[in-house]
């Protein structure tokens, strides 16, 4: 177990900034929260208002740590905690269900680095790590018939997980309810009594509802993207999406083969219903949930890896031969080791890219205003498998230079940061930093249009990332200050500056 826990944190040990797509903008928000009161520069552009919302997991940990260690180190430590707790949760669940660590467990553990984590959904992934640990505890207390204690503990646990991320809380309710239904049916209770008693037991998980009823309603909820079968298939096919498409798809195929073998009871493998039922509950959420809720995307997609991980953790081999158990254990160990080695190498390569691009900060004075532009892919095919992960990297100018950048989110009810820089509109916040190169993608501007229309008086610099050099601007009011590879930093020369020369 110690080896598994060590391997789970290995990919994030070397990178100074965990190379997760959204994370730098989260770090920018943390920096503003910690320094706004003492920084007149930041006060020119930002507000930060603490509210009780279901999206605070990492914030609540980084704030006290950031005071002691600084934002960057505090964020890194908390992010390292996410895969560690995720793996620990899977191990604990496996022990509670099987009374041992099943040979197949190694196939599930690499999903601690599922695509939602690579995307930087750190609050959600932290909440899911807590859900896994909580589910194991729920099952344990139920087996021990310590139901009063469980009710008291989970009244608080539900609130903690809701504060981390609301979707995590919803999945806590689903998994615990399914586990309770199985526990009671296994004892021989009738279907009606099972539903009644399970509902009563799970009422303790609904404490966050009392909080939500007391909170102001920011907007009418909007839901988009129901039952889009191609999208559902895509999320199942990208369980291990990272950098190398061949390796990622091959490991996905192996993972699916092991799961299919367990479903048909091949090779001595069996799905244990005590965990398979909660896993199927999460899988149902994945299928039935919309793709977007308000301005939050990938709602159903972020659920898929945890449903599949729980299904594989549910695989038991008590009826298998010693040879079958040994063969699967060796295969699972190799699978886990290969995935962790690949993830470690991938994170290191992304970190090198981050370091190279962040050299632009040496040319950005403190308190500058910076427009950043980075391209989104024109299509969604396999050719776009590897993401450069640079969209939000310029937020490090906010963290390290107290600079204004247009990469921060401002979504009522989801984010605590507010951007108050009217002169920069419509380039004041995310997603104005993302552009297209010669194609039309809904919701994004063409790169050339953005260069032509951005308000020159509002910005001191233009930072281009992952944009080919033959597309860089040639304008008298944009002077090249730094470049490396496909990235460049331009100084905006305003009219009064030109006259002064």
pLDDT for 76-106, tens place per residue?
Answer: 999 999 999 999 999 999 999 999 999 999 9
Q: In the chain, which stretches have pLDDT less than 50?
A: 497-501
Residues 6+ apart with CB under 8 A from 179: 135, 138, 139, 142, 274, 275, 277, 278
Angle at 15 between CA 11 and CA 19, to 5 degrees: 80
pTM attached to this predicted model = 0.94
Residue 459 near residue 369 (C-beta atoms within 8 A): yes
Give which of 4, 198, 165, 169 is closest to 94, Cα–Cα.
4
Q: What is the pLDDT of residue 295?
A: 66
Q: Give the number of other CB atoms < 10 A from CB of residue 387.
A: 18
Phi, psi of 186 (to 5 degrees): -65, -25
Q: What is the pLDDT of residue 200?
A: 92
Q: What is the pLDDT of residue 352?
A: 96
Q: What is the pLDDT of residue 227?
A: 79
Q: Which residues pair with 370 in a beta bridge?
A: 405, 461
- Any alpha helices (H) in 10-121, and if so which ranges? 23-35, 40-43, 57-69, 71-98, 115-119
Residue 76 near residue 17 (C-beta atoms within 8 A): yes
Kindly list the domain boundaries of the chain, sorted by start residue.
Answer: 51-320, 355-500
The span from the CA of 96 to the CA of 382, in Å, is: 39
pLDDT digits (tens, 9 = 90+) for 170-227: 999 999 999 999 999 988 888 899 999 999 999 999 999 999 888 776 555 677 778 7
Q: What is the pLDDT of residue 223?
A: 74
Q: What is the pLDDT of residue 446?
A: 93
């Amino acid at each position: 177990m110690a080896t598994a826990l060590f391997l789970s944190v290995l990919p994030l040990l070397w990178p100074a900034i965990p190379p997760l797509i959204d994370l730098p903008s989260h770090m920018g928000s943390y920096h503003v929260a910690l320094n706004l009161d003492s920084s007149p520069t930041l006060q020119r552009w930002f507000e930060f208002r603490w509210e009780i919302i279901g999206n605070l997991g990492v914030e609540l940990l980084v704030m006290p740590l950031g005071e002691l260690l600084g934002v960057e180190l505090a964020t890194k430590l908390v992010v390292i905690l996410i895969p560690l707790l995720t793996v620990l949760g899977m191990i604990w669940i496996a022990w509670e269900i099987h009374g041992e660590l099943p040979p197949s467990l190694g196939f599930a553990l690499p999903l601690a680095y599922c695509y939602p984590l690579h995307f930087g959904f750190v609050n959600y992934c932290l909440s899911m790590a807590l859900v896994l640990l909580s589910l194991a505890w729920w099952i344990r207390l139920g087996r021990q018939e310590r139901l009063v204690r469980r009710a008291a503990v989970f009244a608080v646990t539900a609130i903690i997980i809701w504060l981390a991320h609301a979707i995590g809380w919803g999945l806590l309710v689903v998994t615990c309810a399914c586990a309770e239904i199985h526990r009671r049916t296994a004892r021989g209770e009738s279907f009606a009594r099972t539903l009644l008693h399970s509902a009563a037991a799970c009422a303790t998980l609904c404490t966050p509802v009392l909080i939500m009823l007391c909170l102001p309603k920011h907007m009418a909820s909007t839901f988009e993207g129901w039952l889009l079968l191609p999208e559902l298939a895509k999320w199942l096919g990208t369980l291990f999406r990272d950098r190398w498409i061949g390796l990622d798809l091959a490991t996905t195929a192996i993972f699916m083969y092991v799961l299919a073998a367990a479903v048909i009871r091949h090779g001595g493998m069996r799905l244990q219903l005590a965990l398979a039922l909660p896993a199927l509950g999460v899988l149902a959420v994945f299928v039935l949930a919309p793709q977007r809720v308000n301005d939050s995307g990938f709602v159903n997609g972020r659920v898929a890896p945890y449903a599949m991980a729980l299904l594989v953790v549910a695989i038991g081999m008590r009826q298998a031969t010693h040879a079958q158990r040994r063969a699967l254990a060796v295969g699972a160990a190799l699978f886990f080791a290969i995935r962790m080695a690949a993830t470690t190498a991938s994170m290191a390569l992304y970190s090198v890219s981050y370091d190279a691009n962040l050299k632009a900060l040496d040319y950005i004075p403190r308190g500058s205003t910076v427009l950043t532009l980075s391209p989104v892919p024109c299509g969604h095919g396999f050719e776009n498998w590897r993401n450069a992960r640079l969209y939000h990297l310029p937020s490090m100018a906010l963290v390290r230079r107290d600079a204004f950048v247009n990469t921060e989110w401002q979504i009522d009810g989801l984010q605590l940061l507010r951007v108050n820089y009217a002169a920069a509109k419509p380039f004041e916040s995310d997603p104005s930093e993302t552009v297209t190169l010669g194609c039309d993608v809904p919701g994004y501007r063409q790169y050339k249009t953005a260069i032509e229309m951005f308000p020159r008086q509002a910005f001191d610099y233009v930072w281009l990332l992952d944009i080919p050099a033959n597309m860089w601007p040639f304008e008298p009011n944009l002077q090249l200050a730094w470049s490396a590879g496909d990235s460049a930093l331009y100084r905006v020369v305003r009219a009064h500056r030109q006259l002064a020369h």
